[in-house]
Amino acid sequence: MEVEMDADTRVADRDGLLPEPAETTSRTRRWLDSRWRGPIGAGILAMLIYTLWQTAVSNAWISDIILPAPGDVIVAFAETIRSGFFYEHLWITTQEVLIGFGVGVVVGFTLGAWLGSSRLARDVAYPYVVAFQGLPKIVLAPIFVTALGFGMASKVVMAVVISFFPLLVNTEAGIATVDRDAVKLMQSLNASKRDIFFRLALPHSMPLIFAGLKTALTFALVGAIVGEFVGAGSGLGYLLESYAYQLQVPRVWAVTAVLALMGVVLFLLVDYLDRKIVFWRSNGPNTGSTL
């Protein structure tokens, strides 16, 4: 009799007729919640923004010269991305952002590692770095355009100047806060300064460094667009300014949406690398808990 019941149980389990264990069901529910909670929330927020936007335009609370109807922006967005010249401007801005970000990363990381590793360098050079960061970068854009011309070089330099500082600060902070006892332990094991940096200081600083990378990337995009506003013959900033002069407001908002999407995609790429490279940060028991 027990054999027959076991056989029936196996058949029912094979056909999916038996309920899943409570632990498995709970784990699946948590996984689904964590996977869909963000997209569902983003979708609800998007519908709310669309409703408020359409209501404001329909009731003439805001002039359509400032904020056109969302449908007009969607149509302008579709027309813009279908045009052949749009991708030429997109590619130019993308190059400016990526090159400026890459050079800014090298400059920021190098200076940050130097300042974090040397107290003398930090005491002497850090005030000048902070003073330079406090300077409004927009005033430098005309100088760069005058010196380097209306081509890509001036926009790349502008992106570098704006983007390097967040990485510098985060790298310096990460290296400067390495546990002194851990450093002394490695020194007692005859570890060289190179070993201490690459085996202790750099891994310790990686979470802060990636936080600086994410900020630097968005700043590089801002720098490239500011440079294109000041003087350029191509790029999304130039395209945005041209549409603004022609009062093609829906296209202005369409290009603005493209820039926002571009920033999100680049940010997500860096965030993906963050989660893959700094893997030890996501393995803690309390990781992901916000409350």
Q: Return the domain boundaries, the chain.
A: 2-58, 70-283
Distance CA 188, CA 232 (A): 57
Contact predicate 168/129, CB 8 Å: yes
Distance CA 82, CA 162 (A): 32
pLDDT tens per residue, range 215-259: 999 999 999 998 888 887 888 989 998 888 888 888 999 999 999
Cβ neighbours around 182 below 10 Å, total: 13
% pLDDT > 90, the chain: 22
Predicted TM-score (pTM) of this structure: 0.77
Predicted confidence at residue 2, as pLDDT, reads: 46
CATH 1.10.760.10 fits 70-283, yes or no: no
What separation in angstroms does the CA of 17 have from each of 5, 32, 146? Answer: 14, 22, 75
Predicted confidence at residue 287, as pLDDT, reads: 43
Distance CA 45, CA 66 (A): 22
Q: pLDDT category, 160, cuts 50, 70, 90?
A: very high
> Which residue, chain included where needed, has tokens 């770095």?
129
Predicted confidence at residue 143, as pLDDT, reads: 87
Predicted confidence at residue 6, as pLDDT, reads: 53
